[in-house]
Amino acid sequence: MKKIILIGSGGSGKSTLARTIGKILLINVYHLDAIFWKPGWVATPKDEQKKVQEKLINHERWIIDGNYGGTIDIRLNAADTIIFIDLSRWICLFRVLKRRFQYRNKKRDDLAEGCEERINFQFLKWVWDYSIEQKPKIMEQLRNHSPDKRVIILKSPKEVKQFITNMKLLNKQ
């Protein structure tokens, strides 16, 4: 595992798992939310997103955390490992709400400077509808890319913990 992408709903734990894997494997982690949002939650134009990702994937080793469906093919094509965190909408929604209070008036390292933790109806709806709206598209993309990729689908917090434990054990060998 040298080129890893993590995808999943908001609140699924992508950033946390990316940081954990990065520490275990000593690989740089790139959080797309930190890269593609400018202060005040101003979005980076899609053509600039593509250019940035094309530079990132040229590194020898990396972990990229984030969805960004309009440019996901860039990452899917370059990755050797795809991790899809597929948790229930209830868990994701709970974690999003918890995170809002946990990071109140604090900076998250997976968000851009000047982008404070926020919750709005549109984001909550996106999280709630993720399994209906986004998951089928992702599963199709994984089927199209999976013959030459390692695809890992984690369906519960317990599976995520077990995956981390296994990585630590393998890395010690």
> pLDDT digits over 121-141, tens only?
998 999 999 999 999 999 998
| Residue 100: per-residue pLDDT | 77
What fold characterizes domain 3-166? Rossmann fold (3.40.50)
Report how far residue 133's alpha carbon sits from residue 126's, in angstroms, rounded to the nearest whole number. Answer: 8
Report how far residue 130's alpha carbon sits from residue 124's, in angstroms, rounded to the nearest whole number. Answer: 10
pLDDT tens-digit readout, 56-111: 999 999 999 998 888 899 999 999 999 999 999 999 999 998 887 776 766 667 76
| Residue 103: per-residue pLDDT | 67
Handedness of CA 41, 73, 83, 57 (dihedral sign): negative
Strands 3-8 and 29-31: unpaired
Q: Among 8-17, 35-44, 68-77, 110-119, which is the least confidently predicted range?
A: 110-119
N-to-C CA span, the chain: 15
Q: Residue 157 pLDDT more than 80?
A: yes
Integer-rounded Cα radius of gyration of the chain: 16
| Residue 156: per-residue pLDDT | 97
**Upper half-sphere CA count for residue 81 (Cβ side, 13 Å):** 16
Q: For the chain, which residues make up each domain, given as ranges? A: 3-166
Q: What is the pTM of this model?
A: 0.90
Per the CB < 8 A criterion, the answer to whether 95 and 11 are in contact is: yes
